Structure formats: C-alpha cells, structure tokens
Structure 1
C-alpha cells in the first residue's frame, strides 16, 4: 500500500479532514489521494506528494456544514480554505495558492498532466471515485485493496445529496452543472459500489 507523506502539513490536513468530514467523505478524500498516486505511478507523472496529499484531504471541505459557503462554489470555497490552511502551515503564499488552484481546477475541464500534474491527478482520482470514470486505469486488485482499507460507507448517496444541495443554492457552480448533466445517475452507477 502507498505510504502517506509524513510532513507536518500532511499530518495537519488529515487531522482537519478527520475532524470535519463525515466518515464517508473522509474515506473519499483518502481514496482520492491513493487513486491519484496509483495513476501517477502507472503513467510516470512526477508529483509534489505533500501538495497533492493536502489538496486531496481538503478538496471537499466546503461540502461540510462548518465550511460550506452559501454564495461561493464549493470548489472555490475549498480552495480558499486550503490557501488559509497552507499559510497557517508555514507554506509560502505561492505554495498555498497552488493548493487553491488544484482544488478549483479539479472541477473544471480536463487539465493535462504536463500543465498541472496535481490538478490532473485530483481530477482523475475524484472522477473515478465519484462517478466511475476511467475504470480501466484501476485494476480489480487495486480497487479491492483501497476500498477494503477505506470503505465507501454510503458515499455515493451522501455525495449526491451534497451536490443536489449545492446545485439548488448555487446554480452557477460546478455541482449544478454536474447534476444538470445527469451526474446523479453516473454517481449512483459507480462500479465501486457494485
């Protein structure tokens, strides 16, 4: 199994996610890191491991009650939170801004790995864990190991409810676009839930 980064910022990000995320959302964040790291290794993508880990742990924090913004899209609010987290962790403003970019871009159009490897990995990992996109990238053995250690715990239904709520309150956001393009059906049909 892939080892997690052991830096103070990485440890703090896991502590924050554990404190504020539901068990299903926390496991999604951990799985997102693991899927992304697995994909990076199989495709030879060099990645800043600490930056990717922190971004993966914090990418959905704005779906939680404590950090939900009623006016700002969840990915932008989560990115802003990651910037604050990074500064508090002692990162430079530039490094903290990278965490913001990664989190915001993971909900945008595909980003090429040579343009932004961490955002690309978060896109690949979350689209697989949420909606089952690119199943060919993740062999059955890898799926069993990761989901066995970090079970889904009703993640799909919880995530659909979060996105429907976001779509209702923020019709211009990425969650609304996902729901309008049959996102709930894709999430419910994820092969990881089968």
Structure 2
C-alpha cells in the first residue's frame, strides 16, 4: 500500500499498522477500500480547512467504522455502528491507548451515520463523518478536485460501491432490523428486506401504555 496518496500520508505507526492488519483480515475489498477512502477524503477536508486533527486516530476510526457489518464483529442485538465502535475500543484498550483517545474513536465510529450530530462533535468525529458522506453519497462533491479524487480511487477502487454498498449494509444487520429504528439504515431495510415495514414513532406515541 502506498504511503502517500493525494498528498495525504497514510499513518504508519505500529498502532495504525496493527489496526489496518486487523481490519484487512475481516473486511472485503468493498469495505476495506471504502474505509481507506473515507480517511483520505476526511484528511483532505481537514487540511483544506487548516484544522488540527490526530491523523492516527482519524485513520483508525475510518478503518473501524464499518467493521460491525462483518461476520466476526456483528452482534445479535446492537446497532452495527456500536459493534464497530466496541471493536475499536477493545483494540485500543488492548494496546494501552489513553481513555480520552479511545472515547474519541468510539464516538467517531458510533456516530458516523448520525446526520446532524456528528458534524458538531470533535474534529476527528466531524471529519470522518464528512469522509463517509463524501464517499457514499457524494455530499459536498465539488470540494475536492477531480484530480485528487482520481488519485484516491486509483489507490482504493470503488468496487461498484454505488450498487453494492447497500447490500453490504443489509448483510450486516438483516438479522436485527429492529436496531435500525430511527436511523438511515431503516431505509435500507425497507427497500431491500422483503416484507419489512419500519416502525413508526408516531404510532408508538399514540399507542403508548399511558391512559389519556
């Protein structure tokens, strides 16, 4: 793997390398490449805005952000974002990383699909949210030049992400669709999971146990 892509240095500390090795062992090409592009786009945004961020923690957060979709890390009853965040926390704890750094990575992973929240958190959290949204839905697409995008995609091909990522998401939580309630992932279940009808919050309120 090239160490410098689109003027962004891929972190190569012992911690970063071990994180990359762990994720590469469990993620297929689609998720591996997406996670690396997420970091690169996030770091580009941070550099363009002259933001101070911890590149190592941003990289590790990006690597782990979809790990909860994979067979080895998906739980039977938690949101996939929480599964990935817990995996990152366990990894960092086992390496003696300080609690503040662990908490930051946990938040970045757990909140990466929380539109309207993650972008107002710490720099690493908001940047990773930017990188995810940029790569998946092309949000703020023109902020990064076509030349820089091309360098990223040449290093980490998209593997048909536009047509394959939704199925990869569904595979990670089709056994627990109830965990997508109130999130954008409910859209995926309703679109791709036969017979699934998302819960409605208004129904829960109007049919609550309260007698009034």
Pairwise same-fold verdict (TM > 0.5): yes
Count of aligned pairs between the two proteins: 183
Give yes or no for contact 1:27–1:152 (8 Å, CA) kept in 2.
yes
1:65 offset after TM fit, Å?
1.1
Deviates more, 1:4-13 or 1:104-113: 104-113
Bigger radius of gyration among the two: 2
RMSD over equivalenced CA pairs, Å? 2.1
**2:105 paired residue number:** 99
Q: When the two structures are superposed, what TM-score results if normalisation uses the length of structure 2?
A: 0.78
1: CA distance, partners of 2:169 / 2:184: 5
**2:178 paired residue number:** 171
2: CA distance, partners of 1:48 / 1:82: 16
**2:202 paired residue number:** none
Alignment of 1:30-41 (within 5 A): 30-41=36-47
Q: Secondary structure at the match of 1:6?
A: coil
Task: Show structure 1 runs of 5+ residues with no match.
Answer: 184-194
Q: When the two structures are superposed, what TM-score results if normalisation uses the length of structure 1?
A: 0.85
Task: Show structure 2 runs of 5+ residues with no match.
Answer: 193-212
Give yes or no for contact 2:76–2:175 (8 Å, CA) kept in 1.
no
Q: Secondary structure at the match of 2:9?
A: coil
Give yes or no for contact 1:102–1:122 (8 Å, CA) kept in 2.
yes
Q: Secondary structure at the match of 1:171?
A: helix
**2:138 paired residue number:** 132
Give yes or no for contact 1:128–1:134 (8 Å, CA) kept in 2.
yes
2: CA distance, partners of 1:181 / 1:56: 27
Give yes or no for contact 2:46–2:127 (8 Å, CA) kept in 1.
yes
1:176 offset after TM fit, Å?
2.6
